[in-house]
Amino acid sequence: MVKGLRRIALSIQYDGSCFCGWQRQREGTSVQSVLETAIADLDPFRPVKAVAAGRTDAGVHAAGQVVHFDSSGPIPIHRWTSALNGRLPITIRVREAVDRPTTWHACYSATFRRYRYTIFNSCRPNLFLAPWSWHRYQFKLDEEMMRLALEGLLGTNDFSAFQRAGSQRADGITTIQEVQLERQGDLVIIEVQASGFLYGMIRLLVGQLVSLGEHRLKLETFERRWKECRREEVKEAAPAHGLCFLGAGYDESFFSEAGSHDSFPRYVLSVNDPPKLPPSLACL
């Protein structure tokens, strides 16, 4: 660490539909490149590198992405949030900025990451849910079967079956620490917390869970695929827009409650007498 630099942590949100993902790429607009440009406008004295807790794919949203960068400028910490938001597009919002020790790292210091996937399981479309959920309308999902499969993943295992091609990881071993699956009316909400995630892991996993929920895939087949690392049999990936990076956890809390990670809304469909979706109903 260069003398005179300080490390700043940000809690940020972004609408992933506008970006090619978090990481800077040769083609396409990334969240990282847009954020680094805004930081450099405020602190032009050195090259800027923003480091994130999790690298989200193209189209994936974030409610509590944690980012750090090093600054050499005089801007006080309480000014960074408004200063950056004034330079960023409305698809990226900084919720809070705090000072951190120079030994702290947004990615390497994290003890967990957490994602939420939202499925809209209704016959009728909903314009306002469409950007944030996967609309599955042919069958009523069997959430109990999906939950049973999801809970079987808990622990440290090789999850290579849920890893997209192109990953730089040496292996597919990670620890799934907590899982949740609940139905709220026509919404099926899946949350997974792990020490780390493989490239494309959640979208491939949700694709398999939906196949289970629609009874197109048997539980024993699902278990054999991931336990025997049969990546070639895992073909359907859930679309990116239903996935949100909720946030990352650390040994100590440093953001305020307002800047904490779980800021993605839990949708509730309040209908007095909602129409029942039959076990099999094609709405075409």
- List all residues 6 or more positions away from 144 whose beta carbon is below 8 Å from its beta carbon: none
Q: What letters, b where the CB count within 10 A reaches 16 and e where it falls short, cover 183-212?
A: beebbbbbbbbbeebbbbbbbbbbbbbbbb
Q: Where are the beta strands (DSSP E) in the chain?
A: 6-14, 51-52, 61-71, 92-100, 112-120, 134-135, 155-158, 173-184, 187-194, 243-249
Instruction: Confirm whether 57 is a catalytic residue.
Output: yes
The residues, any chain, with a CB within 8 Å of residue 124's CB and separated by 6 or more, are 137, 275, 283
Distance between first and last Cα of the chain: 60
Residue of 15, 41, 43, 57 marked active site = 57
Alpha-carbon gap, residue 63 to 61, rounded angstroms: 7
Interatomic CA distance for residues 13 and 60, integer angstroms: 11
- By annotation, the residues acting in catalysis are 57
